[in-house]
Amino acid sequence: MILAIIPARRGSKRLPGKNYMLINGISLVDRAQRVAKESGIFDHIHIATDENRHPYICDDQVQTAAVVFDTLCKLNYAYDEFCVLNPTTPTRTAEMLREGYLTFRGTACLASIGGNYRHDGAFLFWRTLDFLRYLSRSVIPGYTPVKETFCVDINDSSDFSRAEKILIEREGYTGFFSAGKEPGTFKKW
């Protein structure tokens, strides 16, 4: 069984509320959930919000591994595999997840990387047992490249504008802009 974990903390300092900002009328968290469902590979999708996490792991200094560990504990380690889908990478596609999952099968871990050879947040697949070993640093993850143009990791308003541009070009304009505000709220393209 495979679990999708979408870490959706509210407290971003550089771009407040970014996980819940809208592109084409859909929040970044909802986009991650929709793509996870569309991929057809997950038995369960868990959105890890500040409200359903341990209070000690709700601040912006907490690493994703702590959120994953907390989620796995709450779900009684019921899943053999899991995938972290950062909402701040809204340009991922269901096909990208399916291809990543097929590549992941039989390995300990597989992370997407962008053009700068850094994890871009599109996906991070783990076998649960190997993740627990990783916490003790006895496993090193493997990586697979993903087209950089499809994976925008949102950290600030210029990243958000870039992701918004890609998604509006892909989906067509629906009349909604950044966080439901007027066009030009952020950097124009």
Q: Which domains does the chain have, with CATH numbers?
A: 2-180 (3.90.550.10)
Give, in degrees to the nearest 5, the angle at Cα 99 between 69 and 4. 25
* C-beta separation of 71 from 46 below 8 A: yes
Pull the structure tokens for residue 167.
Answer: 């998604």
Find all residues with CB under 8 Å of 76, minimum gap 6, and list them: none
Region for 163 from its dihedrals, namely left if φ exceeds 0, alpha if ψ lies in -120 to 50, beta otherwise: alpha
pLDDT for the residue numbered 59: 62
Q: What is the pLDDT of residues 64-123, one digit of tens each?
A: 788 888 889 889 889 999 999 999 889 899 999 999 999 898 888 888 877 666 677 789
**Given the structure tokens 């868990």, which residue do they identify?**
46
Q: What is the pLDDT of residues 124-183, one digit of tens each?
A: 999 998 888 887 765 555 555 554 435 777 888 888 888 888 888 877 766 554 444 444
Closest CA to 148 of 186, 112, 103, 99: 112
Confidence of residue 63 (pLDDT cuts 50, 70, 90): confident
The strand pairing partners of 142, in sequence order, are 110
